[in-house]
Amino acid sequence: MKVCIIGCGFVGLATGVTIAHLGHRVRLIEKDDLKLASIEKGQAPFNEPDISSMLSKGLRNRRISASNDVIEAVKASSFIFIAVQTPPMKSGSPNLTFIKESAKEIGEGLSKGKIVIGKSTVLPGTTETVVAPILENVSGLRAGKDFGIAMNPEFLAEGTAMNDSLNPSRIVVGSTNRKTATEVMKLYEKIDAPKILTDIRTAEMIKYASNCFLATKISYTNEIANLCERFEVDIAEVIYAVGLDPRIGGQFLRAGLGFGGSCLPKDLSALISSAESIGYKPELLRAVRKINEKQPIRAVEMLEEELGDLRGKRIAILGLAFKASVDDIRDSKAFPIVVELLARGANVIGFDPLATAFFIQILPEISYASSAREALKGADGCIIQTEEKQFSKLGKEDFDLMNTKLVIDGRRIFSSAKLARFGVKYRAIGLGKRT
Ligand code: UGA
C-alpha cells in the first residue's frame, strides 16, 4: 500500500520506518530543509537507537522516499498520516497551527477513496471538528463519504521508539466508519498485538487517558516516596512489593524527580485545561501536576539539609536531558533544579552525554563539563538527574575528586551501601534517613 507521513519527528519517522518495514511504500514529508537532508541520507535528525539503520534500509530498498511536497505525496498515496507537532500553548491546550496547515495542504491533493489518519496527539473532538472541516472545505469532498478519516494514536516512548513501534502493546484505530478503520488496521496486519477499532473521539481520548495515567502512577509513587522519607523507610523496597500485585503492575513506579519530556507534562496540562474549559474541575489531574512541579525541588532541599546555605557552593548536575539515553531536553527536570540552585546562590556545573549542546542554548549562564568525572571535580554536592548507565559506573576515584563527597540520587541509580564504601554521603528521593 502507498502511504505518506506528514511530519518527521519521533512519531512520524518511527511510524514511517515501521510501516515500510511491514512491506508498504512510504513517502516521508518534512518541511525543515536540514531535517529533510539528513533523512535523505538515512540519518534520523534526532538521537534514537535503530531508527537510522532501518531508515537507511528502507531508502536502499526503495520502500522509503522523502520530500517536502505534501500535495504531490498526497496525490500518490492511499493513506495519509498527519504526524506534525502539537506544542503546548500558554493555556496548556495544544497548538493546532501545524495540524491546520497540514490539513489545508492535504485537502489540495485529496481525491475520492483516500484515507487521512491523525497520529499527532489531539484532544477529543479535534479530528472531527477541526481537521475534517478543513479537509472538506479545501477539497470539496465529504469526510466519511468521499474520503476516509481516522485517528491512530501512537504509544512509543523516546529511546525505545523502534522497539515500541514494532512491538506495540496495542494498536488503536478510530474512524467514523468501520470499513475505514479496518483498512487502516490492515497496514499493521503483520503485527501481533491487541487491535482496537473504535470511533475517532474514543481513539483521541485513549491517548490522553494513557499518558495521564502514566503521569498519575509517577506522581503517586513520588508522593509515597516523600512519605517514605518521613517514615524512614525506602520507597524502592516498598514499591517493588506493591508493583508485584498484578492489579497495580510494577512499571512506571520509579520514584524520582518527576516526569518530563515532550508528552506526559504536555498531555496532562492539555487535558486539565480542556476539562476546565468545559466547566469540570479535574482535581486528581491537578494534584498529579502539582506533585510533579514540586518534586525536583526536593533534590535542592536535600542538598541544603546537608550543606546548609548553598551560596557559593559548587553543585554538579549529572543528566540534563529529560531521561537517560536521549538528547531531548524538553521539560527536563534539570531546568527547575538549576533555576532553584541559582536562586539560592549556588554555582552549577552540568554534564550530559548527549544533551549538553541543547541545554547550553537555554541556560548559558552555568558551567558545563565534558565528562561526569570533570563535573565532580571540586564539587560540594552532586545531583543525579537521569539514570544514565555511565553514572552508575562512577567509582571511588571519581567521587574522591569532590570537595564534599555528597550525592543526591534523584533517580535511585545507586545503593547507599555502595556509596558508603566510597565514603560518600548518600541521600536519595524516597530513602528515609534511617535506611
Ligand atoms: C511517553 C509515554 O511513555 C509513551 O507511551 C507515549 O507514547 C509518549 O510519551 C508520547 O505521548 O509520545 P516519553 O515521553 O518518551 O514517552 O518518555 P517516558 O519513558 O514515558 O518518560 C517520561 C518521564 O517520566 C521521564 O522524565 C522519566 O524519567 C519519568 N519517569 C518514567 C519516572 O519518573 N518514573 C517512572 O517510573 C517512569
- Residue 383 sits in a domain whose CATH number is 3.40.50.720
Residue 434 lies in a domain: no
Is the per-residue pLDDT at 91 higher than 90? no
Residue 416 lies in a domain: yes
Q: CA of 284: how far to CAs of 275, 416, 435, in Å?
A: 12, 34, 31
- Predicted pLDDT of residue 434: 62
Ligand 1 site-directed mutation target among 84, 264, 288, 384, most atoms within 8 Å of CB: 264
Q: Please report how many Cα atoms fall inside a 13 Å half-sphere around the Cα of residue 52, on the Cβ side.
A: 13
- Work out the widest C-alpha separation in the chain, in whole angstroms: 73
Three-state DSSP class for residue 275: helix
278 shares a domain with 223: yes
Is the per-residue pLDDT at 93 higher than 90? no
Contacts of 41 (CB under 8 A, 6+ apart): none
Q: Assess whether the C-beta atom of 158 lies below 6 angstroms from ligand 1.
A: yes
Task: Give the Cα separation of 289 and 356 in Å (integer).
Answer: 26
Alpha carbon of 392 to ligand 1 centroid (Å): 21
Is 263 considered catalytic here? yes
Number of domains forming the structure of the chain? 3
Nearest of 340, 258, 364 to residue 350 by alpha carbon = 364
Residue 232 lies in a domain: yes
pLDDT in tens, 403-434: 999 999 999 999 999 999 999 999 999 999 76
Residue 300 lies in a domain: yes
* Options 4, 8, 228, 263, the catalytic residue: 263
> Residue 123 burial by CB count (10 A; 0-12/13-18/19+): exposed, middle or buried?
buried
Ligand 1 atom closest to the Cα of residue 10 is 12
Residue 229 lies in a domain: yes
Q: What's the angle, vertex CA 253, arms to CA 247 and CA 258, rounded to 5?
A: 145
Alpha carbon of 259 to ligand 1 centroid (Å): 7
106 shares a domain with 48: yes
Ligand 1 site-directed mutation target among 259, 385, 386, most atoms within 8 Å of CB: 259
Alpha carbon of 264 to ligand 1 centroid (Å): 6
80 shares a domain with 16: yes
For ligand 1, atom 5, which residue shows the shortest CA distance? Answer: 155
> How far is CA 32 from its chain centroid?
21
Confidence of residue 129 (pLDDT cuts 50, 70, 90): very high
Domain boundary pick from 255, 272, 290:
290
Pairing type for strands 171-175 and 148-151 reads: antiparallel
Three-state DSSP class for residue 407: strand
Ligand 1 atom closest to the Cα of residue 217 is 36
Helix and strand counts by DSSP (H, E) for the chain: 20, 14
Three-state DSSP class for residue 2: strand
Nearest of 2, 55, 9 to residue 27 by alpha carbon = 2
Pairing type for strands 406-409 and 425-428 reads: parallel
258 shares a domain with 346: no
**Residues 237, 250: contact at Cβ < 8 Å?**
no
Q: CA of 389: how far to CAs of 209, 369, 411, 412, 413, in Å?
A: 31, 18, 12, 12, 8
Percent of the chain clearing pLDDT 90 (strictly above): 97
Task: Give the Cα separation of 147 and 139 in Å (integer).
Answer: 10
Strand order in the sheet with 425-428: 367-368, 347-351, 314-318, 381-384, 406-409, 425-428
H helical segments located in 232-245: 235-243
Q: Assess whether the C-beta atom of 260 lies below 6 angstroms from ligand 1.
A: yes
Name the helix (H) or strand (E) containing 56.
helix 51-60
Ligand 1 atom closest to the Cα of residue 256 is 33
Residue 135 lies in a domain: yes
What mean pLDDT value characterizes the chain?
Answer: 97
117 shares a domain with 32: yes
332 shares a domain with 286: no
234 shares a domain with 183: no
169 shares a domain with 77: yes
- Which CATH number belongs to the domain containing residue 215 in this structure? 1.10.1040.10
Domain boundary pick from 168, 198, 228:
198
Q: Assess whether the C-beta atom of 157 lies below 6 angstroms from ligand 1.
A: yes
- Predicted pLDDT of residue 165: 96
Residue 204 lies in a domain: no
Torsion of CA 281, 285, 287, 291, to 10 degrees: -150
Ligand 1 atom closest to the Cα of residue 260 is 26
For ligand 1, atom 18, which residue shows the shortest CA distance? Answer: 157
Domain boundary pick from 175, 198, 221:
198
Ligand 1 atom closest to the Cα of residue 254 is 36
223 shares a domain with 145: no
For ligand 1, atom 9, which residue shows the shortest CA distance? Answer: 263
Lowest mean pLDDT, pick from 40-44, 90-94, 171-175, 343-347: 90-94
- Predicted pLDDT of residue 73: 98
For ligand 1, atom 17, which residue shows the shortest CA distance? Answer: 157
Task: Give the Cα separation of 303 and 301 in Å (integer).
Answer: 5
Ligand 1 site-directed mutation target among 254, 263, 326, 391, most atoms within 8 Å of CB: 263
222 shares a domain with 109: no
Residue 333 lies in a domain: yes
Q: Assess whether the C-beta atom of 256 lies below 6 angstroms from ligand 1.
A: yes
Q: Assess whether the C-beta atom of 263 lies below 6 angstroms from ligand 1.
A: yes
H helical segments located in 191-233: 200-231
Grid cell, residue 421, equals: 564504601
pLDDT (mean) for 56-85: 97
Q: Assess whether the C-beta atom of 211 lies below 6 angstroms from ligand 1.
A: yes
260 shares a domain with 112: no
Only one residue has cell 487535558, namely 271
With left for phi above 0 and alpha for psi between -120 and 50, is residue 416 left, alpha or beta? alpha
pLDDT in tens, 303-323: 999 999 999 999 999 999 999
Task: Give the Cα separation of 268 and 68 in Å (integer).
Answer: 32
Task: Give the Cα separation of 167 and 22 in Å (integer).
Answer: 12
Alpha carbon of 157 to ligand 1 centroid (Å): 6
Task: Give the Cα separation of 294 and 298 in Å (integer).
Answer: 7
Name the residue range of residue 271's domain. Answer: 209-290
26 shares a domain with 174: yes
Which residues in 11-92 belong to E strands, given as ranges? Answer: 25-29, 64-67, 79-82
Q: Assess whether the C-beta atom of 155 lies below 6 angstroms from ligand 1.
A: yes
- Predicted pLDDT of residue 435: 55
